[in-house]
Amino acid sequence: MAQPLDLIVRNGVVVTAADTRRLDVGVRDGVVVALGTNLPEAPVLDASGCYVFPGFVDPHVHLQLRVGDIVSTDDFETGTVAAACGGVTTLADFTGNARGDDLAEGVRARWAEAEGRIAVDLALHLTLTDASETTLAALPALAAAGHTSAKLYMTYAGLRLDDGEMLRALAACHAQRILPLVHAENHDAVAYLTARLLAAGHSEPRYHPASRPPLVESEAAQRALALAAMVDAPVYLAHVTCRETLAAIAQARARGQQVVAETCPQYLALSSACFDAPGFEAAKYVCTPPLRPAGHGDALWTALAEDELQIVSTDHCPWNHEVEKQRGRDAFSQIPNGLPGVETRIPLLYGLGVAQARLSLQRFVAVAASEPARALGLFPRKGTIAVGSDADLAILDPRGTTTMQAAGLHQRVDYTPFEGWTVPGRLVATVSRGEVIVREGQFLGRRGRGRLLCRQPSPWA
Ligand code: DUC
Ligand code: ZN
């Protein structure tokens, strides 16, 4: 006799990037083992009237990120609980090594911070803060151990690589099938424009976008793509915000390059008009690259729908407005960069994307689950609902609504940029490896239950 199931998610509409079907999902030992309509008796999670999506994957977050003497406010515990409450069952964060540090030790140290605390599964991108022979020599063993992606910054003192280092890093990643995620902004241009604004007395938060205009991003993106072409390497472009970068991506693809491109809800849903907020309120919207004038967001929605952009991550990097953001009272350049969003990505993307007919259900699943899992080298274990996949599920009731308020969210930060917004759709449950970890907004799981994910190379690497 077949072994009993541990759980059946019954009467829902199962949505993957490929199709939409009315099916029950049978789970045993944390894995999907059956999809059908006549599954044997087992404990039931009723999904009548709801969509059953794959657990969502956020491939770009910064939990307890140290920047100088401050640390982003969500730690591995609060950030992963917030993620779970936002329908997310897999996160990818970054190692925190500085230039010259041992990369393997960087993984070990970051994992030591996360272990025993994470509520959902976690991948770690390597951070390549230099491209020395010693650092690059560590890549084969790390790739073999399942760390198959790396972050390359073109800006930020202490993190950034110059063009020669970019070339060496891109080539070394390519040789090991490590997918390089690139933060593309022209470092020297940011420094020049920032100094010029401050010298002119323009120190308020509303000058932040002018210090990093679209050309700062698109010039660096174009350069990263040109450098990658020289060593035949693929590129994952992080947080694309503007039409100019979309054009650079199209140009690279037209010459045959492999480019994976990501944007974030803040660039889809907000604009630089947020900087009209009075006084220091505007500091809430300081992230890099910055929010863009209205119009860019529409172009990003279209690019997502048409597969010019593949992924929506959050770049979740929360700082309290009343505490850390205050460091920039005298100069916008001192405001810590970053917005919270790990808990609000899926409600926003469903409510503004699917419900407003900007994204099909399939495309929604693709950009928020399947393609991020593919980039991480985790598909089809994560990012879809199929026999053999981890039983990671997010159940959403399209008849409900979600109102976003900082006070009601699990993110540990004193604001949300989406305060008071109400969107169609309501997450009703999150299942991680067969365990119902969220029900009606209540986290029911155990902190520490999350696992560090060892990954295959991405098919895009
Ligand atoms: N920009 C980054 O590059 N990292 C974290 C937050 C942000 O806004
Ligand atoms: Zn980031």
Residues 122-136, mean pLDDT to the nearest whole number? 98
DSSP 285: G
What tokens does 292 get?
């863009």
In this prediction, residue 287 carries a pLDDT of 98
| H or E element, residue 45 | strand 44-46
Residues 90-117, mean pLDDT to the nearest whole number? 98
| Whether residue 1 has pLDDT greater than 60 | no
Report the nearest atom of ligand 1 relative to the CA of 287.
8
Q: How many domains does the chain have?
A: 2
d(CA 38, CA 42): 12
Q: Do 312 and 394 sit in the same domain of this protein?
A: no
Instruction: Find the CATH number of the domain harbouring 205.
Output: 3.20.20.140
The type of residue at 450 is G
**Residue 457 belongs to some domain of the structure:** no
Q: Do 139 and 219 sit in the same domain of this protein?
A: yes
What does the pLDDT look like over 207-227, one tens digit per residue? 999 999 999 999 999 999 999
Q: Do 24 and 131 sit in the same domain of this protein?
A: no
The backbone torsions φ and ψ at residue 33, rounded to the nearest 5 degrees and listed phi first, read: -115, -10
Residue with the smallest CA separation from ligand 1 atom 7 is 338
What does the pLDDT look like over 230-259, one tens digit per residue? 999 999 999 999 999 999 999 999 999 999
Compute, in angstroms, the gap from residue 194 CA to the centroid of ligand 1.
17
What tokens does 183 get?
């933060």
**Residue 449 belongs to some domain of the structure:** no
In this prediction, residue 344 carries a pLDDT of 99
d(CA 410, CA 77): 10
Query: Contact at 8 Å (CB) between 262 and 239?
Result: yes
Q: Do 43 and 98 sit in the same domain of this protein?
A: no
What tokens does 235 get?
């590129």
CA–centroid distance for 264 within its chain: 7
Domain boundary among 330, 346, 376: 376
Q: Do 100 and 18 sit in the same domain of this protein?
A: no
Higher-confidence residue of 3 and 94: namely 94
What does the pLDDT look like over 394-416, one tens digit per residue? 999 999 999 999 999 999 999 99
The backbone torsions φ and ψ at residue 47, rounded to the nearest 5 degrees and listed phi first, read: -120, 30
| Whether residue 418 has pLDDT greater than 90 | yes
Q: Which ligand is nearest to the CA of 217?
A: 1
Percent of the chain with pLDDT over 90: 99
d(CA 314, CA 59): 8
Compute, in angstroms, the gap from residue 160 CA to the centroid of ligand 2.
13
What does the pLDDT look like over 75-92, one tens digit per residue? 999 999 999 999 999 999
Report the nearest atom of ligand 1 relative to the CA of 183.
3
Compute, in angstroms, the gap from residue 61 CA to the centroid of ligand 2.
6
d(CA 370, CA 301): 18
What does the pLDDT look like over 33-64, one tens digit per residue? 999 999 999 999 999 999 999 999 999 999 99
**Residue 48 belongs to some domain of the structure:** yes
**Residue 119 belongs to some domain of the structure:** yes
Compute, in angstroms, the gap from residue 60 CA to the centroid of ligand 2.
6
Q: Do 230 and 241 sit in the same domain of this protein?
A: yes
Q: Do 106 and 62 sit in the same domain of this protein?
A: yes
Compute, in angstroms, the gap from residue 110 CA to the centroid of ligand 1.
18
Q: Do 247 and 309 sit in the same domain of this protein?
A: yes
Residue with the smallest CA separation from ligand 1 atom 2 is 288
**Residue 157 belongs to some domain of the structure:** yes
Compute, in angstroms, the gap from residue 444 CA to the centroid of ligand 1.
30
The SS3 of residue 36 is strand
What tokens does 116 get?
């025993």
**Residue 363 belongs to some domain of the structure:** yes
d(CA 332, CA 198): 9
| Whether residue 28 has pLDDT greater than 70 | yes
| H or E element, residue 236 | strand 235-237
Q: Is 3 exposed, middle or buried (0-12, 13-18, 19+ CB in 10 A)?
A: exposed
Residue with the smallest CA separation from ligand 1 atom 5 is 338
Q: Do 347 and 393 sit in the same domain of this protein?
A: no
Q: Do 209 and 343 sit in the same domain of this protein?
A: yes
Residue with the smallest CA separation from ligand 1 atom 6 is 338
Q: Do 235 and 360 sit in the same domain of this protein?
A: yes
Query: Contact at 8 Å (CB) between 302 and 174?
Result: no
In this prediction, residue 442 carries a pLDDT of 98
Hey, which of 58, 62, 217 would you mutate to test ligand 1's pocket, going by the most ligand atoms within 8 Å of its Cβ? 62
**Residue 196 belongs to some domain of the structure:** yes
In this prediction, residue 101 carries a pLDDT of 97
**Residue 2 belongs to some domain of the structure:** no
Q: Do 329 and 405 sit in the same domain of this protein?
A: no
Mean pLDDT of the chain: 98
Residues 332-340, mean pLDDT to the nearest whole number? 98
Query: Contact at 8 Å (CB) between 377 and 456?
Result: yes
> Could you list the residue range(s) of the whole structural domain that residue 429 is in?
7-53+389-443
pLDDT confidence of 2, banded at 50, 70, 90? confident
Q: How many other CB atoms are there within 10 angstroms of residue 95's CB atom?
A: 24
Instruction: Find the CATH number of the domain harbouring 20.
Output: 2.30.40.10
